């Protein structure tokens, strides 16, 4: 199984990607979360000029956040910096990238065409944008030559997304693999995995463990709440989340709910999360348990784990790399 790492685009991320390469991680995925962190493409470029092997890509970029030509030019820039063999593009409908701005994710009815437009531009084709013809007009020396061919991954969690990914010929990126998921015909199935490798003297009750793994666990609470998913009721202390958020202005609730998303526990998270919440994350465990968990994921169809280190990022990258034996 491939082992990769996922990062929010913060100032230290290029340094962390350099370390991830040294430790043997396959790919560095960087989130496209402009309401929460910095620009994904600038972060990838900074990491690209400082690394030699590790693959780089947005994990995942949201097509609606930019004009398709802008995204195509960003991809061309990254390919020009590091070569097409080191670039992989993840795209998604925007659970975080749009929800953090109070917007619903893109519809699966619209999403594939948005991705197809960017891919067509990269092939050097002409597309229609707002009723006008558009094509990458870069002359030789201004960008890498078209066609620009790089692999694509799409973020999915439900059957509609899986069906769309298969039709698009893309791999998939998931944070919550469903027991009924059918990954047949999809070569790359990437799990965004959260957690922390516990030291010998730590337990699931240890404050460091909750502070480190908690931001990843809270994602499930946030997602199920906003999607009105019945699975929220199965999470520990879920009723407290409902109490807090029901009392908020619905037009501004997303600002409080997503604050610190995937990096820190915000005020709502600290009211809701308990040590009993942590087993939701696949890698809140000791080092000797990681290989067995990897084997179970592989049996479920996962081909790559993308681990997001939180808290002491260097410590987490090193501990997970050692436990996964990469």
Torsion of CA 224, 229, 235, 241, to 10 degrees: 60
pLDDT higher than threshold 90 for residue 186 = no
Per-residue pLDDT of 96-137, as tens digits, reads: 889 989 999 899 889 999 999 999 999 999 999 999 999 999
Sorted by where each starts, the structural domains of the chain and their CATH numbers stand as 2-194+285-324 (3.20.20.30), 195-281 (no CATH)
Q: Tens digits of per-residue pLDDT, 288-312?
A: 999 999 999 999 899 999 999 999 9
Q: Kindly tell me the sign of the dihedral angle through the C-alpha atoms of 128, 122, 136, 39.
A: positive
End-to-end CA, the chain: 10
| Residue 4: closest CA among 287, 218, 265, 302 | 302
| pLDDT band (50, 70, 90) for residue 159 | confident
Please name which of 106, 69, 105, 72 lies closest in space to residue 89, comparing C-alpha atoms.
72
3-state secondary structure of 266: coil
Cβ atoms of 208 and 284 closer than 8 Å: no
Evaluate if pTM is beyond 0.85: yes
Cis peptide before 60 (omega within 30 of 0): yes
Specify the pLDDT at position 157: 77
Q: CA 97 to CA 71: how far, in whole Å?
A: 15
């Amino acid at each position: 199984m491939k082992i990769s790492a996922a990062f929010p685009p913060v100032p230290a991320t290029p340094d962390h990607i350099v370390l991830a390469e040294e430790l043997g991680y396959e790919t560095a995925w960087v989130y496209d979360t402009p309401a929460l962190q910095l620009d994904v493409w600038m972060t990838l470029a900074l990491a690209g000029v400082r690394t030699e092997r590790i693959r780089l890509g947005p994990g995942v970029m949201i097509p609606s956040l930019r004009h398709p030509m802008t995204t195509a030019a960003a991809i061309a820039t990254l390919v020009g910096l590091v070569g097409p063999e080191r670039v992989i593009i993840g795209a998604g409908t925007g659970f975080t990238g749009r929800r953090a701005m109070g917007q619903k994710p893109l519809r699966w009815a619209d999403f594939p065409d948005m991705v197809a437009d960017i891919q067509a531009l990269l092939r050097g084709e002409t597309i229609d944008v707002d009723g006008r013809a558009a094509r990458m007009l870069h002359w030789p020396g201004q960008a890498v030559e078209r066609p620009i061919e790089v692999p694509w991954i799409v973020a999915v969690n439900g059957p509609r997304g899986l069906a769309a990914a298969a039709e698009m010929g893309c791999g998939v990126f998931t944070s919550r693999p469903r027991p009924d998921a059918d990954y047949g015909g999809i070569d790359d199935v990437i799990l965004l995995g959260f957690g922390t490798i516990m030291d010998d003297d730590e337990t699931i009750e240890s404050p460091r463990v909750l502070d480190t793994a908690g931001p990843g666990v809270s994602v499930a609470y946030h997602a199920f709440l906003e999607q009105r998913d019945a699975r929220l009721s199965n999470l520990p202390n879920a009723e407290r989340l409902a109490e807090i958020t029901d009392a908020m202005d619905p037009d501004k609730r997303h600002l409080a709910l997503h604050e610190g998303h995937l990096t820190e526990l915000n005020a709502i998270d600290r009211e809701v999360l308990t040590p009993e919440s942590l087993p939701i994350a696949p890698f809140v465990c000791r080092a000797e348990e990681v290989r067995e968990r990897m084997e179970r994921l592989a049996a479920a169809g996962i081909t790559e784990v993308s681990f997001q280190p939180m808290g002491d990022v260097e410590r987490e990258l090193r501990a997970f790399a050692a436990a996964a034996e990469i």
